[in-house]
């Protein structure tokens, strides 16, 4: 065993001219670094490489003299065609769908008229992970996305879920790249929290009381109680009631009020008993927060960010996006349209007027009038039918929005904004934050919330208060928007919803 720490040189192959990165720490090269080249690997004929992956399809040919395998390693949607001769390895062990192969061989040009740009002629089989075709849960036949939700540990091996994984990865890295490029600092806001952002309830509790109760067989049903019958959290892990966060916004504001341009990107949670295709109990949110920024700056940032994401996918994930058009013919067009468009900006009051006008000639399920929260059908009408482009609606009625939003001079509206896009409706919600201590305190009381838990939040307005704004983008919504898929459970690796938390 070599103790030399220098990364081993690629065996006979330097892919430094490749369009995509290579693995420096092993002798394997990713299939993307072959097929992802502008020439689709054609120029690599004659090179010796080591690759690994799973067999998508395999068939013996020429009366068992050799086998053709289509091998995928997840680095790109394309499969590498691999030729294994019978004297090199037992063909029946490698042709089954789902077999894992680790191979070394020579890249060579395929025969004239072949669909392939390059193929691998195997010289050595390093390792094989066989599969019992009769038992493999993912046969070659087309499987429904619904079926795949019951095998979350194997579904990334399918074309669709692996394409979604690459798109999700690209959007995450694009998010960091965008904010870093603009001088934002990434802040890890807490997952376990003792603040309730929306004052809304519907939070998961985080506790060690139940475990301890089982362990120590405490009396009274196990959970300690106070004299008034309520649960006594003195002995809980944090000595008080603790929850899973519903948003990092309030906490990240403390960093915005010090470092001026910050963002958080992390998991958030809702204990809502929703069984829809649009809700998850655990999902990821991107939440930038900008000091010295008003609602207009906020909209500028949101628009630039969404366009950047769309352009990034076109530049870095075109193959995968092309694949997604099998589910939604307009997926690619939608990205191109948004990347190039100017987002229409209308006030809530203007939006309601437009919808009232529209309601005269078409039917909405929900009645439109000033003061309502726009329903999904309204949002989609505005972006898909009326403007045929993304729309930002701003200045919403105070009564339907959260306490922390900046009250406008009219005292009827707040400086809130929603970005609406085709396919999913609301993609982003944001606002300028109330920076006036007295107004904010009044709003908290008005909402029937207690002051004490928000004292730290009020402090930000006592000591060097600053005009600031921010927004939240539901990361899975963005993936639904990009991929055109319908069910949010298919765009997160491990979906959590009522009754289900597999693995």
Tell me how far apart the alpha carbons of residues 46 and 121 are, in angstroms, rounded to a whole number: 10
Contact flag: residue 21 with its own copies (CB under 8 A): yes
Q: Would you say 128 or 375 has its CB closer to its own copies? A: 128
| Cβ 127 to its own copies shortest distance, Å | 6
Residue-by-residue DSSP string for 348-369: HHHHHHHHHHHHTTS--SS---
Site for its own copies in 284-303 (CB under 8 A): 284, 290-293, 296-297, 299-301, 303
| Cβ 195 to its own copies shortest distance, Å | 5
Contact flag: residue 231 with its own copies (CB under 8 A): yes
Contact flag: residue 493 with its own copies (CB under 8 A): yes
Among the listed ranges 59-67, 242-250, 330-338, 444-452, the one in contact with its own copies (CB under 8 A) is 242-250
Tell me how far apart the alpha carbons of residues 245 and 189 are, in angstroms, rounded to a whole number: 9
Q: Would you say 241 or 366 has its CB closer to its own copies? A: 241
HSE-CB at 388 with a 13 A cutoff on CA atoms is 2
Which two three-digit tokens encode residue 37?
Answer: 């080249």
**CB within 8 Å of 113: residues ≥ 6 apart:** none
104 touches 123 (CB < 8 A): yes
End-to-end CA distance of the chain: 36
Contact flag: residue 186 with its own copies (CB under 8 A): yes
Site for its own copies in 35-54 (CB under 8 A): 52-54
Residues making up the chain, counted from first to last: 503
| Cβ 423 to its own copies shortest distance, Å | 21
Tell me how far apart the alpha carbons of residues 313 and 148 are, in angstroms, rounded to a whole number: 25
| Cβ 96 to its own copies shortest distance, Å | 9
Contact flag: residue 153 with its own copies (CB under 8 A): yes
Binding mask 257-286 for its own copies (x = CB under 8 A): xxxxx----xx-x-x---------xx-x--
Binding residue for its own copies, selected from 147, 216, 370, 494, defined by CB under 8 A: 494
Q: Which of 297, 285, 286 lies closest to 260 in space, CA to CA?
A: 297
Contact flag: residue 74 with its own copies (CB under 8 A): yes
Contact flag: residue 313 with its own copies (CB under 8 A): no
Q: Would you say 180 or 333 has its CB closer to its own copies? A: 180
**CB within 8 Å of 332: residues ≥ 6 apart:** 314, 321, 322, 324, 325
Site for its own copies in 399-418 (CB under 8 A): none
378 touches 368 (CB < 8 A): yes
Contact flag: residue 157 with its own copies (CB under 8 A): yes
Question: Looking up tokens 């992390």, which residue turns up?
Answer: 266
Tell me how far apart the alpha carbons of residues 41 and 23 are, in angstroms, rounded to a whole number: 17
395 touches 416 (CB < 8 A): yes
Binding residue for its own copies, selected from 48, 68, 92, 137, defined by CB under 8 A: 137
Q: Would you say 68 or 237 has its CB closer to its own copies? A: 237
Contact flag: residue 98 with its own copies (CB under 8 A): yes
Tell me how far apart the alpha carbons of residues 304 and 296 are, in angstroms, rounded to a whole number: 12
Tell me how far apart the alpha carbons of residues 213 and 249 are, in angstroms, rounded to a whole number: 34
Contact flag: residue 237 with its own copies (CB under 8 A): yes
Binding residue for its own copies, selected from 55, 67, 95, 332, defined by CB under 8 A: 55
Q: Would you say 191 or 372 has its CB closer to its own copies? A: 191
Q: Would you say 117 or 189 has its CB closer to its own copies? A: 189
Q: Would you say 112 or 132 has its CB closer to its own copies? A: 132
Binding mask 429-468 for its own copies (x = CB under 8 A): ------x--------------------xx-xx-xxxxxx-
Tell me how far apart the alpha carbons of residues 282 and 318 are, in angstroms, rounded to a whole number: 28
Contact flag: residue 63 with its own copies (CB under 8 A): no
| Cβ 478 to its own copies shortest distance, Å | 13
Site for its own copies in 159-178 (CB under 8 A): 162, 165-166, 168-169, 172-173, 176
Contact flag: residue 225 with its own copies (CB under 8 A): yes
Site for its own copies in 191-210 (CB under 8 A): 191-195, 204-210
Q: Which of 179, 147, 154, 353 lies closest to 256 in space, CA to CA?
A: 179
Q: State whether the Cα torsion 401-256-460-201 is positive or negative.
A: positive
431 touches 301 (CB < 8 A): no
Tell me how far apart the alpha carbons of residues 200 and 129 are, in angstroms, rounded to a whole number: 50
Binding residue for its own copies, selected from 43, 129, 199, 429, defined by CB under 8 A: 129
Site for its own copies in 314-353 (CB under 8 A): 342-343, 345
Q: How many CB atoms lie within 10 A of CB 93?
A: 16
Among the listed ranges 73-81, 85-93, 374-382, 443-451, the one in contact with its own copies (CB under 8 A) is 73-81
| Cβ 243 to its own copies shortest distance, Å | 9
Q: Pairing relation of β-strands 391-397 and 344-347?
A: parallel
Tell me how far apart the alpha carbons of residues 261 and 12 are, in angstroms, rounded to a whole number: 48
Q: Would you say 8 or 64 has its CB closer to its own copies? A: 8
Tell me how far apart the alpha carbons of residues 503 and 495 are, in angstroms, rounded to a whole number: 10
């Amino acid at each position: 065993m070599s103790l030399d720490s220098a990364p081993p040189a690629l065996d006979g192959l330097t892919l430094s001219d490749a369009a995509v990165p290579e693995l420096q720490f092993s002798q394997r090269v990713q299939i993307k670094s072959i097929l992802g080249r502008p020439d689709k690997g054609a120029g690599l004929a004659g090179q010796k490489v080591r690759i690994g992956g799973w067999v998508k399809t395999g068939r013996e040919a020429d009366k068992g003299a050799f086998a053709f395998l289509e091998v995928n390693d997840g680095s790109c949607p394309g499969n590498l065609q691999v030729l294994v001769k019978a004297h090199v390895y037992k063909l029946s062990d490698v042709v089954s769908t789902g077999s894992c192969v680790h191979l070394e061989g020579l890249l060579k040009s395929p025969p004239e008229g072949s669909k392939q740009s390059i193929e691998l002629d195997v010289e050595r089989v390093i390792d094989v992970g066989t599969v019992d075709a009769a038992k493999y849960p993912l046969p070659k036949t087309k499987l429904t996305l619904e079926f795949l939700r019951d095998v979350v540990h194997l579904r990334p091996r399918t074309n669709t879920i692996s394409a979604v994984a690459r798109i999700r990865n690209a959007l995450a890295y694009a998010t960091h790249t965008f904010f870093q490029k603009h001088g934002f600092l990434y802040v890890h806001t807490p997952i376990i929290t003792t603040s309730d952002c929306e004052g809304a309830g519907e939070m998961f509790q985080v506790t060690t009381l139940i475990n301890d109760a089982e362990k120590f067989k405490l009396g009274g049903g196990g959970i300690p109680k106070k004299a008034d019958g309520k649960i006594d959290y003195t002995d809980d892990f944090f000595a008080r009631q603790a929850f899973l966060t519903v948003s990092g916004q309030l906490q990240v504001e403390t960093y915005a009020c010090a470092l001026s341009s910050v963002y958080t990107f992390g998991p958030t949670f809702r204990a809502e008993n929703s069984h829809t295709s649009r809700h998850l109990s655990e999902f990821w949110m991107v939440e930038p927060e900008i000091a010295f920024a008003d609602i207009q700056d906020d909209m500028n940032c949101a628009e630039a960010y969404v366009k950047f994401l769309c352009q990034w996918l076109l530049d870095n994930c075109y193959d995968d996006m092309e694949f997604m058009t099998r589910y939604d013919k307009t997926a690619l067009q939608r990205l191109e349209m948004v990347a190039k468009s100017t987002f229409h900006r209308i006030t809530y009051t203007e939006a309601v007027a437009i919808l009232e006008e529209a309601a005269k000639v078409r039917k909405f399920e929900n009645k439109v009038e000033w003061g309502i929260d726009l329903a999904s059908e309204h949002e989609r009408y505005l972006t898909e039918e009326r403007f045929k482009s993304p729309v930002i609606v701003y200045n919403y009625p105070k009564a339907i929005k959260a306490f922390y939003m900046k009250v406008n001079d009219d005292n009827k509206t707040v400086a809130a904004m929603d970005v609406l896009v085709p396919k999913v409706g609301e993609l982003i919600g944001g606002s300028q934050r109330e920076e006036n201590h007295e107004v904010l305190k009044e709003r908290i009381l008005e909402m029937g919330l207690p002051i004490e838990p928000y004292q730290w939040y009020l402090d930000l307005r006592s000591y060097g208060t600053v005009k600031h704004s921010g927004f939240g983008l539901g990361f899975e919504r963005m993936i639904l928007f990009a991929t055109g898929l319908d069910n949010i459970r298919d765009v997160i690796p491990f979906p959590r919803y009522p009754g289900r938390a597999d693995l």
